[in-house]
Amino acid sequence: MSAGENTIAFAAGQGTRTLQDRSLRLFIVLSSFFCVNAALAEFIGVKIFALEDTLGIAPLQWNLFGQTGSLNFTAGTLLWPVVFLMTDVINEFFGRRGVRLISWLAAMLIAYGFLFAFAAIALAPAGWWVKAAQAQGVPDYQAAFAAIFGQGMWSIGGSLVAFMLGQLIDVAVFHRIRSATGDKHIWLRATGSTAVSQLVDSFVVLYIAFVLGPQHWPIPQFLAISTVNYGYKMLAAFAMIPLIYLLRVWIHGYLGHERAKQLRDEAAAD
């Protein structure tokens, strides 16, 4: 019997309508939050921000592989740690199939979003609208819209491939660590799986988008920037550890310890 069938059977045994089952509602909420954060990260990722200037500190010059630079990241990095967190929590309570389901769903929704972004760009703009934001310093609204939402196909393809590779690797490593540690050390399987999956993700996305893509970055530049991005993601993953435990406590309180343990046992056996 699958995890979904177990959920329905459990609900039926308690005389509860399907959508009143708390475990099902929990999965819907976690999945929705996962998908919207993944999609938003892709769309706002077109903006590159300076971390030091944002924090009001002096530039921190890194020097790697003969390259130097400051801490510049895409705005999407603000949301990817939340995606990691949701991945780990869904992994813990809904197992491999739960993570694979939401990962494929998120990838399809991201592709769907980009498809309609390009469709919107192709629509003929109203003449008055093109100059509607001149007072805000935007002389051509259509050009700005196209520049922001019309990300290059290499960037879109690279991010989708890296996202799916990272998610599939994450779930595999998470359960490999879980089989070795049992129900203990959730921080270890969460950060361990993120460490491996994001190592792949950070390098694959930039390699496809900027080495294979039209910009043709030199390998030292690719390695340096990928390493800095990976370092940021790992710091964020460690910062998220307390939230994992807080969410686990909340879920146990929401579902009840018996039901929460049943879900974790099913996820471990998945």
- Kindly report, residue by residue over 2-26, the tens digit of the pLDDT: 545 554 444 444 556 777 789 999 9
Judged by DSSP in three states, 240 sits in coil
| 204 vs 5, residue with greater confidence | 204
Res 16: pLDDT: 62
Question: Residue 53 and residue 155: Cα distance in Å, rounded?
Answer: 26
Side-chain-side CA neighbours of 237 within 13 Å: the count stands at 24
Judged by DSSP in three states, 182 sits in coil
Q: What is the mean pLDDT of residues 128-134?
A: 93
Res 46: pLDDT: 86
Residue ranges of the domains in the chain? 27-269
Q: What is the mean pLDDT of residues 194-222?
A: 89
Q: What is the mean pLDDT of residues 210-216?
A: 86
Question: Residue 35 and residue 29: Cα distance in Å, rounded?
Answer: 10
| 239 vs 19, residue with greater confidence | 239
Res 105: pLDDT: 95
39 confidence band (pLDDT: 50, 70, 90): very high
Q: What is the mean pLDDT of residues 143-169?
A: 89
Please tell me the pTM assigned to this model. 0.85
Res 15: pLDDT: 57
**pLDDT above 80 (res 226):** yes
User: Which residues does residue 73 pair with via DSSP β-bridges, in sequence order?
Assistant: 49
> Which position has the token pair 């599939």?
168
Q: What is the mean pLDDT of residues 235-259?
A: 92
Query: pLDDT over 90 for what percent of the chain?
Result: 55
* Residues 70-94: tens digit of each pLDDT: 888 888 888 988 898 999 999 999 9
**pLDDT above 80 (res 69):** yes
Res 143: pLDDT: 93
> Which position has the token pair 């308690």?
14
Res 11: pLDDT: 46
Q: How many residues does the chain have?
A: 270
Res 8: pLDDT: 45
